[in-house]
């Protein structure tokens, strides 16, 4: 099948609708991410508490990724996606109504639950409805929808915040969550794989699948890569990059513009990565993406120029977008329809570990040594993770055939 024909075959109703749902989800994230740490600080949160608030999201994802992934294998992806979008709406409403940093915790718990139920399960949904030969392009389109939402979200948030303040922008995000839930409820088809009375479609136990993952270097490497990008983006960039920019004299508008530019760069990389993933090995694609991210973080630690930081953030976004596309396709490739939700759950769990532990560590480092030390620490952790992935690749070369779960 030619490239043009593959693209045309992917641009169909079910694919476009899941892209619309995930676009809404990332609009919500794009509104919240650039402003949350400064918003929490304005309510009286210390740098350590900001890290704890972020870790709450990661901890929630860590505890719920496997159960939600397994549940989606049983009941189908659609009801989980609807639930996730409604949870995003509830989370942002809680943020808007908070008058103390401690009141932000319920919203952060809901945010973690929403992220697992939308982004992770949305990827599993794409894997369900797409033929293997179309998978790279489909995941490129899916990831591009995510990136576009995260690019436009900060612009919407900044415009609304300039009129009614950050709480007004969070209420706007809540409305977008309801819109996404409506699209999912009335637009997506049921992909339920395990129906009552159909014994041939029984779902394998989650912990058994996790055991298989730990013996599969390919899936383990994809999960490690997700952990690294969670440390970089969910740990350092989301929580401490805005504070670093403010420390250097940048405004909230400058932070929003940087995040938006980053997201546009990330989006631009996703569909080409999806196309290339059909021609390059997954190992090579994720390795190149993570190496690019590492180089950018090292460069960030050496500059105090706001303009240069903005450029570096865009380049990091390109690396992140490339990994996001390749990583999701990588996991889909090494899973089967009846276990894909669980496999994505394991992949998401690894990212959640990074999102849980890194903000706590980085928040403490920021309080003791300053925000710039956070960037250096992130670079060291990313380098160590890349070495680990290299070891996994060497192990996979010794195996005659990768295991599948």
CATH of the domain at 278: 1.20.1250.20
Tell me the C-alpha distance between 88 and 101, whole Å. Answer: 19
CA distance between the termini of the chain: 28
Provide the residue count of the chain.
Answer: 405
What pLDDT shows up at residue 395?
77
For residue 404, is it within any domain?
no
For residue 199, is it within any domain?
no
- 328 SS3 class: helix
Which tokens in the block code for residue 55? Answer: 């870790």
Which tokens in the block code for residue 139? Answer: 């995941």
Q: How far is CA 319 from CA 19, 57, 303, in A?
A: 21, 23, 19
User: Could you list the pLDDT tens digit for every one of the 405 residues in the chain?
Assistant: 555 566 666 778 889 999 999 999 999 999 998 889 889 999 999 888 988 998 898 889 888 888 898 888 888 899 999 999 999 999 999 999 999 999 999 999 999 999 999 998 998 898 888 877 777 788 888 888 988 998 899 889 989 998 999 999 999 999 999 999 999 999 998 766 433 333 434 444 444 555 555 567 777 788 888 899 989 988 899 888 988 998 999 987 888 889 889 988 988 888 888 777 666 666 788 889 999 999 999 999 899 899 999 999 999 999 998 888 888 777 777 666 666 666 777 787 788 788 788 888 888 898 889 888 999 999 999 999 999 888 887 877 776 454 444
For residue 5, is it within any domain?
no
Tell me the C-alpha distance between 178 and 268, whole Å. Answer: 27
CA nearest to 282, candidates 191, 214, 367, 217: 217
For residue 4, is it within any domain?
no
For residue 128, is it within any domain?
yes
Q: Give the position of tokens 């694609």.
A: 285
Tell me the C-alpha distance between 329 and 332, whole Å. Answer: 5
Q: DSSP string spanning 252-303?
A: HHHHHHHHHHHHHHHHHHHHHHHHHTTTS-HHHHHHHHHHHHHHHHHHHTT-
User: Can you give the residue range of the structural domain that contains 325?
Assistant: 11-191+204-398
For residue 331, is it within any domain?
yes
Indicate the number of domains in the chain: 1
What's the predicted TM-score (pTM) here? 0.72
For residue 111, is it within any domain?
yes
Which tokens in the block code for residue 193? Answer: 């794989």
For residue 197, is it within any domain?
no
What pLDDT shows up at residue 399?
60
Packing angle, helices 238-247 and 47-75, rounded to 10? 150
What pLDDT shows up at residue 404?
47
Tell me the C-alpha distance between 249 and 33, whole Å. Answer: 19
- Over residues 144-181, the pLDDT tens digits come to 898 899 889 988 998 999 899 999 999 999 999 999 99
């Amino acid at each position: 099948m030619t490239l043009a024909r593959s693209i045309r075959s992917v641009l169909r109703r079910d694919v476009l609708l899941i892209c619309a749902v995930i676009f809404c989800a990332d609009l919500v994230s794009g509104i919240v991410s650039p402003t949350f740490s400064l918003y929490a600080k304005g309510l009286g949160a210390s740098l350590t508490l900001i890290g704890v608030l972020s870790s709450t999201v990661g901890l929630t994802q860590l505890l719920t990724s496997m159960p939600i992934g397994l549940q989606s294998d049983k009941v189908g992806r659609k009801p989980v996606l609807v639930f996730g979008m409604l949870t995003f709406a509830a989370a942002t409403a809680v943020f808007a109504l908070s008058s103390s940093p401690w009141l932000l915790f319920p919203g952060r718990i809901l945010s973690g639950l929403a992220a697992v139920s939308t982004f992770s399960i949305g990827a599993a949904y794409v894997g369900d409805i797409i033929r293997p030969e179309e998978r790279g392009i489909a995941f490129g389109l899916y990831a591009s929808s995510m990136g576009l939402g995260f690019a436009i979200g900060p612009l919407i948030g900044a415009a609304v915040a300039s009129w009614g303040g950050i709480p007004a922008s969070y209420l706007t995000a809540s409305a977008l969550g309801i819109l996404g839930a409506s699209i999912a409820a009335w637009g997506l088809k049921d992909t339920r794989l395990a129906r009552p009375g159909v014994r041939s479609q029984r779902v394998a136990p989650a912990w058994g699948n996790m055991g298989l993952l730990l013996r599969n270097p390919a899936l383990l490497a994809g999960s490690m890569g997700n952990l690294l990008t969670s440390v970089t983006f969910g740990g350092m960039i989301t929580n401490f990059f805005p504070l670093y920019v403010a420390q250097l004299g940048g405004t909230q508008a400058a932070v929003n513009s940087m995040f938006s530019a980053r997201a546009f760069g990330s989006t631009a990389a996703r569909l080409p990565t999806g196309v290339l993933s059909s021609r390059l090995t997954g190992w090579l694609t994720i390795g190149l993406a993570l190496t690019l991210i590492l180089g950018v973080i090292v460069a960030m630690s050496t500059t105090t120029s706001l303009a240069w930081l903005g450029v570096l953030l865009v380049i990091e976004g390109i690396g992140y977008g490339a990994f996001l596309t390749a990583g999701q396709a990588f996991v889909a490739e090494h899973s089967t329809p009846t276990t894909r939700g669980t496999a994505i759950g394991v992949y998401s769990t690894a990212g959640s570990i990074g999102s849980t532990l890194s903000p706590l560590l980085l928040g403490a480092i920021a309080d003791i040594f300053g925000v710039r030390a956070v960037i250096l620490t992130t670079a060291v952790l990313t380098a160590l993770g890349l070495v680990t992935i290299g070891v996994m690749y060497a192990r996979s070369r010794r195996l005659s055939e990768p295991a599948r779960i």
